[in-house]
Amino acid sequence: MLTWLADLSHLTGLFNLFRYLTFRTLGAATTGLLLVFYFGPMIISALRLKQGKGQPIRLDGPASHVLTKKGTPTMGGLMILFGLFVSSLLWANLESPYVWIVLFVTAGFAGIGFYDDYLKVTKQSHLGFSGRSRLAGEFVIALVACYAMMRTGATGATSLALPFYNGYVVDLGWGFLLFGSFVIVAFGNAVNLTDGLDGLAIVPAMIAAATLGVIAYFAGNLLYSRYLLINHVPYAGDLMVVCGALIGAGVGFLWFNAPPAQIFMGDTGSLALGGLLGAIAVSIKHEFVLAIVGGLFVMEALSVVVQVASFKLTGRRVFRMAPIHHHFEHLGWSEPQIVMRFWIIAFVLAMIGLATLKLR
């Protein structure tokens, strides 16, 4: 929205700054941070008043959670989303279709997560609404988003790209709808599964956002994309601004979510952030790089898949508890140990993901 100020550059050179993605990304991050810092306490107080007993704690989870996390309000993702949407709409170039597509997925997944959190709080049960209904809603949103990407008219919009390879591999055609939707839905739920300890999901999400933001900047720039031999996606550069907004709002949320957490992100936030990251990766044709950059989330999701499959097929569990962060809790790791070590893993994976830009 503020990009129009660049047209006033004839008055003073300062307005010319609004032409630069880097400046607008920094502005979005700062705005998101300040909004969450300022309005955060009010949002927490309102949620605590409305929810009373707060988020119900899984009785089959680690026993310490019943004592340390009971009564903490959830739906803290509303804080992140508030800072994210306001900052993105202020600082991004709204002529970019990808900005609207990504925000659409984020809002849609947030709505599903909010309804799930609402049911958990009102029924005082860790179970939300039907898993099938939830997945069906997510797929509908993802399908609409992927169809919108196809309609942008960008070269290779329906094609598959691989890391370590220059160019598109194969045109998926209408199959792109299923592939892209799967990536978005899968990553949304992977981040959702990771959100089980204070600060565990938000920092890796910010690290992944920073990495995808850099890639989006290069992919949206014709010269840089040619130099790096990555696929050029016109208008995708402004997704860097959205990533900046997420990082700023995420840092603000972490201030209140740091242990002992004053508020939980809830499905409202984790599902929305996962959907956002998945939608960005699909938009810039780096779906497989997302699996590397967001490898921590993939590991968490796979641990659940392996646990469920093993128990159904053999009656035995591979992990003491899934997702895998609970397994380490049962092994005696403290919550701060798990969280900080998982942050380190997320950072290392992000560096590996960025390295794929030059290995072609």
Residue 14 maps to a domain:
no
Strands (E), 139-247: 159-161, 168-171
Of 151, 211, 202, which Cα lies nearest the Cα of 176? 151
Of the CA atoms within 13 Å of residue 163, those in its CB half-sphere come to 18
Residue 2 maps to a domain:
no
Are 97 and 104 within 8 A, CB to CB? no
Lowest mean pLDDT among 146-150, 200-204, 319-323: 319-323
Q: Note the pLDDT tens digit of each residue in 160-199.
A: 888 877 777 788 999 999 999 999 999 999 999 999 888 8
> What is the distance between the alpha carbons of residues 53 and 269, in angstroms, rounded to a whole number?
20
3-state secondary structure 287-306: HHHHHHHCHHHHHHHHHHHH
Kindly list the distances between the CA atom of residue 40 and the CA atoms of 45, 77, 114, 123, 298, in Å, as whole numbers in the listed order.
9, 11, 17, 26, 30
Residue 360 maps to a domain:
no
What is the per-residue pLDDT for 66? 45
**Does residue 259 surpass a pLDDT of 90?**
no
Are 303 and 324 within 8 A, CB to CB? yes
Q: Note the pLDDT tens digit of each residue in 73-103.
A: 888 999 999 999 999 999 999 999 999 999 9
Residues in the chain, overall count: 360
Q: Which domain holds residue 194?
A: 24-355
- What's the DSSP call for residue 92? S
Q: Note the pLDDT tens digit of each residue in 267-321.
A: 999 999 999 999 999 999 999 999 999 999 999 999 999 999 999 999 899 998 9
- Reading phi first (left if > 0) and then psi (alpha if -120 to 50, else beta), residue 184 is in alpha
Residue 145 maps to a domain:
yes
Residue 17 maps to a domain:
no
Residue 211 maps to a domain:
yes
Query: Domains in the chain: how many in total?
Result: 1
Residue 11 maps to a domain:
no
Residue 221 maps to a domain:
yes
> What is the distance between the alpha carbons of residues 263 and 71, in angstroms, rounded to a whole number?
10
